[in-house]
Chain A
Amino acid sequence: AQSVTQLDSQVPVFEEAPVELRCNYSSSVSVYLFWYVQYPNQGLQLLLKYLSGSTLVKGINGFEAEFNKSQTSFHLRKPSVHISDTAEYFCAVSDQAQAAGNKLTFGGGTRVLVKP
């Protein structure tokens, strides 16, 4: 079984400032890692995923994340945020015994509020 902890429930940030959303996971097996964004009253959109290879993963909308196996972390970053980045962000894992994206375990979410 896996668990995912998103260390910050809310992150206020000024427009054009950088943001980092922290995600740590616990698992007895190797995992795939995902970040999703949920805009108000909308569904989930995949931002990026780590399956294998380079530990720095680039996603949509200027986001990137770095997988750190020793620290069991997958933190999400954006160097300069926009008002439109105001949303809820979810980190998720699935174990590598499954195909990527199957039976996801989600963190509690981080609400990002971008201020002008």
Chain B
Amino acid sequence: SAVISQKPSRDICQRGTSLTIQCQVDSQVTMMFWYRQQPGQSLTLIATANQGSEATYESGFVIDKFPISRPNLTFSTLTVSNMSPEDSSIYLCSVENQAFFGQGTRLTVV
């Protein structure tokens, strides 16, 4: 199974700023997925990141708020833009065909 690494593991950010989260996988994959887990809640899919094309966003998530990059087959970034306390969550990535997740990025916005 693929090994998925996320950076940073946690961060505390000021409202109005942006944070970029990195996801690195140890094998080449076409699709990577970004999820959000709000405090005390379950996971919700934010978007699917395909290498070579624009990310596909789920209902309720928009590119301006969560821009995604996918520069190659082993790496993706998710940016949380213009943050507010409501963005405090754990953000997780996973990859195609694996059903495994990175350890997540715990974001607190103050």
Query: Real complex partners, A and B?
Result: yes
A interface with B by C-beta (< 8 Å)? 34, 41-44, 46, 49, 90, 92, 94, 99-109
Q: Which of B15-23, B68-76, B96-104 contacts A (4 or more CB under 8 A)?
A: B96-104
Given contacts A43-B103, A43-B104, contact A100 B42 (CB under 8 A): no
Partner of A109, one of B42, B99, B103: B42
B66 CB within 8 Å of chain A? no
List chain B residues, Cβ under 8 A from A42: 103
B interface with A by C-beta (< 8 Å)? 31, 33, 35, 41-45, 48, 90, 92, 94, 96-104, 106
Given contacts A90-B43, A108-B42, contact A102 B101 (CB under 8 A): no
- Where chain B touches its partner, the secondary structure class is strand
Given contacts A44-B92, A102-B31, contact A49 B99 (CB under 8 A): yes
B42 lies within 8 A of A104 (CB): no
Q: With the chains together, A34 CA to B103 CA distance in Å?
A: 18
Q: With the chains together, A31 CA to B43 CA distance in Å?
A: 18
B94 lies within 8 A of A101 (CB): yes
Q: 21 A-B pairs, CB-CB below 8 angstroms?
A: A34-B99, A42-B103, A43-B90, A43-B92, A43-B102, A44-B104, A49-B99, A90-B43, A92-B43, A100-B99, A102-B31, A102-B96, A102-B97, A103-B45, A103-B48, A104-B33, A104-B43, A104-B94, A106-B42, A107-B42, A108-B41
List chain B residues, Cβ under 8 A from A43: 90, 92, 101-104
A31 → B minimal CB distance (Å): 13
